[in-house]
Amino acid sequence: MRLGKYELGRTLGEGNFGKVRFAKNTDSGQPFAVKIIEKNKIIHLNITNQIKREIAALKLLRHPNVVRLYEVLASKTKIYMILEYVNGGELFGMIASEGKRSESECRKLFQQLIDGVSYCHTKGVFHRDLKLENVLVDNKGNLKITDFGLSASPQHLRADGLLHTTCGSPNYVAPEVLANRGYDGATSDTWSCGVLLYAILTGRLPFDDRNMVVLYQKIFKGDIRIPKWLSPGAQDLIKRILDPNPEKRITMAGIKEDPWFKKGYVPANAEDEDVYVDNEAFSMHEAEQRNSGSSPAIINAFQLIGMSSCLDLSGFFEKEDVSERKIRFTSNLSVKDLIERIEDTVTDMEFIVQRKNDKLKVIWENKVHKTTGCLSVAVEVFEISPSLYVVELRKSCGDTSVYKQLCNKLLDDLSVPPSNRL
């Protein structure tokens, strides 16, 4: 298949919007990666603005450690992004297959990461989804940052000068992003770079748990275990980057002055070059919008992550199986209201309530069969953000059928409706 001066070859990857295919310039023989986006799919998903955002960001960025966009072409049905071809694959795959690397090798990768990310910040671009899968490494060991679909620029700041969209990937997201009070894009990107540094050095993530509630509690506390076998300099830098207080967290400029980071550091040079963008790339969508008289809806960033990286967050804090001894669910009621309503509900169900601070112990006794028909459940409320709380129920002992009734009643009365879940 030909696309102007490009000859398209094998498929490199496939997603919900289309495919990425290998391509070669028929004149020069230079390899490229072509991201082929189906117009009807992005119209249907109302994510045209996100595609435009990625193109706008990549048009600004000309750096050796950022994947380069060369041009954008279009047909009536497709958009073609002509991108730099990186032949080494994802950083995730390299770490998974090769395991732990020497500190000097890791330092070189991290230096390139910081070079690329700090350059983006000087251009007013905040990535907001830095993770192992969004960093590529070529066969010469050169790191390339990719996937700017969730990026933000100064025009996305609110009146308080902060970003407010909750987005990112769970293991990499900064605590201030979760707190839902607004955040600085550069500071939150710095946190994600700290997660990547830890992963590069150790081969695992600093914050990880299959339960999202536990994971986010660890992130809020900055609860990490740094291996003693890392050098003191590496340990110190990780601690300074993964400080849960964004006001105290080291800055990009501070990282570049850190003694461990500076060893053998040679800053990369940015380049200038225009990017050609075909004006027909979005014409079909814009004409359709004009005809319908509507404007495209902005998709929730967590939904976009689910679509673009196969990370399904639709069940982010979903109700767990009530047959389990422990379940968790979310509510947007305040702690005070939650405790009061839990007390009212369990009292109506003839439970005895014992309260200590924000913890409850509820006990039920079968008046007919006191020795066999009893139930004891601990109830605790955790704050995830100022507008999101988690209720945890832990069965200590007792009647499973009554426990299921209790769980179902509280789930129905207190949990966040599906349309309001993250």
Quick check: 143 and 113 in contact, CB under 8 A? yes
The secondary structure of residue 78, as a DSSP letter, is E
Which of 122, 263, 265, 134 is closest to 192 using CA atoms? 134
Distance of alpha carbon 235 from its chain centroid, rounded? Answer: 24
Please say whether the beta carbons of 129 and 104 come within 8 A: no
DSSP code of 282?
A: G
Please state the φ and ψ torsions of residue 182, each to the nearest 5 degrees: 100, 150
Alpha helices in 252-322 (DSSP H): 252-256, 259-262, 283-292, 301-309
Question: Distance from CA of residue 298 to its chain's centroid?
Answer: 17
Residue that is written with structure tokens 């605790």 in the block? 380
Instruction: Assess contact for 113 and 145: CB atoms under 8 A.
Output: yes
Q: Which of 118, 65, 106, 104 is nearest to 197 (CA)?
A: 106
Residue 413 known to be catalytic: no
**Residue 262 annotated as lining a ligand binding site:** no
Alpha helices in 72-227 (DSSP H): 91-98, 103-122, 175-178, 185-202, 212-221
- The first and second tokens of residue 196, run together, are 């990547």
CB atoms inside a 10 Å sphere around CB 85: 19
Point out the catalytic residue in the list 129, 184, 189, 399.
129
Backbone angles phi, psi at 348, to 5 degrees: -60, -30
Catalytic site residues?
Answer: 129
Binding site residues for ATP, as ranges?
Answer: 35
Binding site residues, as ranges?
Answer: 35
